[in-house]
Structure 1
Amino acid sequence: MQVFKVMGALALVAGLSAPALAVDTSVVGVWQPDNKESDYQATLCGDDQQRLCLQLVALRAGADKPKNRPYLGKNIVDGAKPKGDKSWQGQLNLFGQTADATFTLKGPDVLEMSGCAYLVVCKTIKLNRIK
């Protein structure tokens, strides 16, 4: 009987704490590539608040160059359209390069950007949530 009381208490505690353990799977936040040379603020934008906008908010180390500074504070993605669950497709304009890109939320703390410029130069970059 004592075992059932303990199991019941654990189930109750687990049930009460479940909302605190909920994971935010929104793309909204601040993201950073593995090299930590830049930060990007992601927001949902557009009339329906379903499009993805990504603004360059910080430059560091190798990325902090005079040629990159004009992009600071600017949207590098402006209104990428929803492509499915946690995925958007649009144009990426970064450091003078433009690419067709897909942005996919791979988990609560990983945003993947996959893009191709000139249909031949393709790259995937993983961004990590920092805020």
Structure 2
Amino acid sequence: MRCWTRIALGLTITAASLAPALASPAGVWELDTRDTRFTLEMCGDGTQLCGMLTWLSDANYNAQYEPYLNRPMADRMTQDAPNRWKGAMRLMGHRLSGTITQNSPNHLTLSGCAFLVVCKTYQMYRMEK
């Protein structure tokens, strides 16, 4: 049994070392629609992800989202895989369960579902580090 434990541990370490290590997702990210920006940072024990809505364009439809400006959108999302965080989010007043996946140093995918039925995916691009 001890041999199987060592093999499993070895495979886990090998798989983790093969996963690409990307730059931290901390920074300012803009949705691909170019009308909304979020600031993300590592929080909690340093492996969790927190975020806040920090900018809205002056498009007319954004006036309805102003009450959510400078409010948390993600609080302590937990890392469940390399470059991927999962947990509860609040987007524009809606509670979602979702993931944020870092695809490259400058590209994130945010996916969330409300009521496990209504789902949406957004592409986000780094504005600054």
What range is the shorter-chain TM-score in? 0.7 to 0.9
Cα-to-partner distance string for 1:78-123 (whole Å, 9 max, x where unaligned)? 1101111111001110111111001100001111111111111111
Segments of 4+ moved more than 2 angstroms: none
Pairs aligned (count): 107
Distance 2:85 2:24 in 1: 13
1:24: Cα distance to partner?
Answer: 6.2
1:102 is aligned to 99
Q: TM-score, normalised by structure 1?
A: 0.76
1:26 is aligned to 24
Q: Return closer, same or farther for 1:63/1:24 CA change in 2, 3 Å cut-off.
A: farther
Distance 1:45 1:103 in 2: 15
1:64 is aligned to 62
1:20 is aligned to none
Two-structure CA RMSD over aligned residues (Å): 1.6
Alignment of 1:1-20 (within 5 A): none
Larger radius of gyration: 1
1:58: Cα distance to partner?
Answer: 0.4
Q: Return closer, same or farther for 1:41/1:85 CA change in 2, 3 Å cut-off.
A: same
Unpaired runs of 5+ residues, structure 2, are 1-20
Q: Return closer, same or farther for 1:37/1:63 CA change in 2, 3 Å cut-off.
A: farther
Distance 2:22 2:117 in 1: 35
